[in-house]
Structure 1
Amino acid sequence: MKGIAILMIAMHNFMHLFPFPKENEFDFSFERTSSMLNLLWTEPENSIRVLASFFGHFGVEVFVLLSAYGLTKKYLKHPLIYWQFIGERIFKIFPAFIIAIVIWLALEGFYSHGIFGPFKMLSMHYQEILLKLTLLSNFIPDKALEPIGPWWFIPFIFQFYFVFPFLLKLHERWQETGLIALSAFCLVFTDTVEGHLYGVNLYYTIVPYIPVFALGLCLAKKDTLISEIHIPKSFVALALVIFILGNIYQHLWVLSNISFILLFLVLMNIVIPKIKGSLHRLLIFTGQISMGLFLVNGFLRFPMVRWAIEKDNWLYTLVLCFVFLAISYIMAVVVIRLERLLTSTLKANQYKQKHSI
């Protein structure tokens, strides 16, 4: 599921830079839905690009679900100490993130500005980088997608880490009723303020995604694997209706995240048992390096996506997207290996300091 989700995200990040169609990810417009349907009808050969552009961002919701599910599974059996938990999350993500930032500065700098380009890039973007590293960028208007669009997810997922222990306690105290009440409040609040509060887009925060987090937490309490959970047919039908209407009517759009996840779980229940052999191994491997893929795909899509837009040919676009994914896989492995080397070195130094005292 992680492998499928990161491929959805990477392909979306490549395809959605075309002029049309745009996605209803951070705000809603029926014109985008209309554009998507029109392109599917008039340019069926472009279906993969159109569908990836419009729907691929829902891979984020899958990661949201799996994050809540995985952490809940872990801390059902182990005590959660708040600041130790936060420190572990920082130590797990920040080394790879910093490595990705350095690689981006080097590649983009040399490509755009020559030998001293990385330093020029750093001087141009140090404020945006600091806002990302301090996890503040999503709360500042027009800064969430700077300097690399997909990196908005880093401050976002840390918001979840900060509140996860409280969600766990809420469930322990009030069971599903507490999480349902909180989810309903977040959805109503988001819709009431039309997704914006004091210039901040709430879709860069965890508020509209609380129902998906809550679902992941509740599913983790069950003994069944997440890919094997049975969802009643009535729920599936309702989710499908809401998802369709949510791409037509703005007030139902707020429910598109949770309705998509329910449909995705049903689809995975059908599809995963049929995935075998090389494809199974590829998706497992993709899931294992998903953090690296997420961190590098945002800047590795250039200049290939620009070439694809200029040519505007469906086959040429797919070939360039495949090349982009291949390069992203290689660079993701580099990031993961460098991250492991860095963290093992840090742990070794901590061990030496501890035993030298």
Structure 2
Amino acid sequence: MFNKIFKSERNRLSPISSERNEGGTLTRTECNALRGLAIIGIFLHNYCHWLRPVVKENEYQYFQHNVDGLYQVLQGQWDELFFFHILSFFGHYGVPVFLFLSAYGLTMKYEQRPNTAPAGSQQTPSNLPLFGFIKYHWLKLFRMMIVGFVAFTMVDAITAGQHHYKMMDIIAQMGLFNNLLPHPDDIIWPGPYWFFGLMIQLYIVYRLLLYRRHWAWNVALIVVCFAIQLACEPESEALNRWRYNFIGGMLPFGAGLLYARYARPWSTATNLVAFILSMFAILLMSFSYATWHLVPLAVCIASVTFVKLLGQLETGTGYRNISIMNVLSWVGSISAALFVCHPITRKIFIPISKEGDYWAGLLLYIIASLCLAWLFKELMKKIPGPKLK
């Protein structure tokens, strides 16, 4: 029964690439599994990092005391909070995976020739209209965001510790440009919704600078964005603001575009070596400010190779029922709804963990988030989707 549910959810998605893997491209199942990995990291991170004893992440700035805290956790005895420490410090790297997949999807959808486009994919204009493209993707993001934002503000208003919104903060959230305002940490609430502003920026960058252009444009933009961040002080507000915007997300986004254009199939052995090396790189590069900027790329490599290995393993063993791949793919199918609704369930259940019942609060949060995400997905399907003209 569960296998039928997983398969039905997967098959209702618009395919990014055909289920038969040609070249080094990702299949629908692999893309959904990557989304599943990414959203699991994000929604668990956004719960764990709110707990006071837990090591905090270096997401927008690089704090040496956070790295020192992680080192102490890894060196010390593992206790009941070890899982929370790891997810708090590393879970936010699900965002680069989403950026990688977004660029991959854009490239596969808009840059393939009609006769090589994914089976069942929507036909798109050969010459993308600039304002039509931006409007289409803005409406797609707004359609997701508004459902969660309305529900969250109501829950936030009737629970303890409610946020005090200012008029400009609300207008900026509605317009998906709140990333551009000063001190984004204080005005973007719920916090994860900064992602919508980041994505509309990257859509604009893609259409203006990267769409069907030579790979050198992509590489040059990655290098410029990398240099801007590296020139900032590790704990500076300047770095914080750059990383809230497309400057901070250009590396994984650009990598997704290059992967879609030039990827070639790897053997199982190559995937395994790349996965192991990238996992070590994620850990080791987190301990230096210069290499910390490259961690998102290592995360994308680790995620893609993990999914490739998982698919090859399950194909080789013939174990295709309630498998890890199917579970990840199903979670990926509700990832958009889970992203917009998990701040609601976090606000409700996190007091349980803050009072000391860490695992009870987390388990209730997971169960409620998955169920609410399924309901939100059904609700969002009732909202008419935009069309690209």
> Is 2:267 aligned against 1:267?
no
Q: Which runs of 5+ in 1 are unaligned?
A: 114-120, 348-357
Q: Which runs of 5+ in 2 are unaligned?
A: 1-33, 113-123, 315-319
> Is 2:215 aligned against 1:182?
no
State the partner residue of 2:346: 301
> Is 2:154 aligned against 1:106?
yes
State the partner residue of 1:87: 135
In the superposition, relative to structure 1, how do residues 339 and 225 fare at CA in structure 2: closer, same or farther (>3 Å)? farther
Q: Which of these residues, 55, 72, 83, is aligned with residue 21 of structure 1?
A: 55
Code of the aligned partner of 2:57: E
Between structures 1 and 2, the one with greater helix share:
1
Shift of 1:21: 0.1
In the superposition, relative to structure 1, how do residues 299 and 127 fare at CA in structure 2: closer, same or farther (>3 Å)? farther
Shift of 1:56: 0.3
**2:48·2:85 contact (CA, 8 Å) conserved in 1?**
yes
Q: What are the superposed Cα offsets for residues 217-261 of structure 1, whole Å, 9 maximum, x if unpaired?
A: 011124758998966958974x56653443222122222222222
State the partner residue of 1:75: 110
In the superposition, relative to structure 1, how do residues 339 and 173 fare at CA in structure 2: closer, same or farther (>3 Å)? closer
**2:275·2:302 contact (CA, 8 Å) conserved in 1?**
no
Superposition pairs of residues 282-297 of structure 1, within 5 angstroms: 282-297=327-342
> Is 2:379 aligned against 1:342?
no
**1:219·1:226 contact (CA, 8 Å) conserved in 2?**
no
**1:243·1:260 contact (CA, 8 Å) conserved in 2?**
yes
**1:96·1:336 contact (CA, 8 Å) conserved in 2?**
no
In the superposition, relative to structure 1, how do residues 234 and 65 fare at CA in structure 2: closer, same or farther (>3 Å)? closer
Code of the aligned partner of 2:151: I
Counterpart secondary structure, 1:341: coil
Code of the aligned partner of 1:270: L
**1:128·1:146 contact (CA, 8 Å) conserved in 2?**
yes
Code of the aligned partner of 2:257: L
> Is 2:184 aligned against 1:150?
no
| Inter-partner Cα distance in structure 1 for 2:172 and 2:131 | 21
Shift of 1:86: 1.5
| Inter-partner Cα distance in structure 2 for 1:142 and 1:337 | 35
RMSD: 3.1
**1:11·1:56 contact (CA, 8 Å) conserved in 2?**
yes
Code of the aligned partner of 1:4: L
| Inter-partner Cα distance in structure 2 for 1:262 and 1:149 | 26
Code of the aligned partner of 1:58: Y
Please identify, of 157-166 and 133-142, the stretch whose mean Cα deviation from structure 2 is larger. Answer: 133-142
| Inter-partner Cα distance in structure 2 for 1:67 and 1:43 | 36
State the partner residue of 1:166: 208
In the superposition, relative to structure 1, how do residues 258 and 194 fare at CA in structure 2: closer, same or farther (>3 Å)? farther
Superposition pairs of residues 195-214 of structure 1, within 5 angstroms: 201-214=241-254
**2:201·2:246 contact (CA, 8 Å) conserved in 1?**
yes
Q: Which of these residues, 349, 371, 385, is aligned with residue 330 of structure 1?
A: 371
| Inter-partner Cα distance in structure 1 for 2:296 and 2:200 | 19
Shift of 1:179: 2.0
| Inter-partner Cα distance in structure 1 for 2:271 and 2:309 | 12
In the superposition, relative to structure 1, how do residues 232 and 96 fare at CA in structure 2: closer, same or farther (>3 Å)? closer
Counterpart secondary structure, 2:214: helix
| Inter-partner Cα distance in structure 2 for 1:37 and 1:327 | 33
| Inter-partner Cα distance in structure 2 for 1:226 and 1:150 | 34
Shift of 1:164: 0.9
Please identify, of 64-73 and 299-308, the stretch whose mean Cα deviation from structure 2 is larger. Answer: 299-308
Q: Percent identity?
A: 24
Q: What are the superposed Cα offsets for residues 138-181 of structure 1, whole Å, 9 maximum, x if unpaired?
A: 12222355221111111011110111113434xx4432x33222
Q: TM-score when scaled to structure 2? A: 0.76
| Inter-partner Cα distance in structure 2 for 1:244 and 1:284 | 26
**2:286·2:292 contact (CA, 8 Å) conserved in 1?**
yes
State the partner residue of 1:55: 90
Q: Which of these residues, 256, 260, 265, is aligned with residue 220 of structure 1?
A: 260
Q: Give runs of ≥4 in structure 1 deviating > 6 Å.
A: 225-229
Code of the aligned partner of 2:342: N
Code of the aligned partner of 2:104: Y
| Inter-partner Cα distance in structure 2 for 1:151 and 1:333 | 19
Q: TM-score when scaled to structure 1? A: 0.82
Q: What are the superposed Cα offsets for residues 281-307 of structure 1, whole Å, 9 maximum, x if unpaired?
A: 332221111111111112321232222
Shift of 1:15: 0.4
**1:96·1:292 contact (CA, 8 Å) conserved in 2?**
yes
| Inter-partner Cα distance in structure 1 for 2:64 and 2:274 | 27
| Inter-partner Cα distance in structure 2 for 1:153 and 1:228 | 34
Counterpart secondary structure, 1:42: coil
Q: Which of these residues, 41, 45, 51, is aligned with residue 8 of structure 1?
A: 41
Shift of 1:320: 2.0
Code of the aligned partner of 2:293: V
| Inter-partner Cα distance in structure 1 for 2:226 and 2:175 | 27
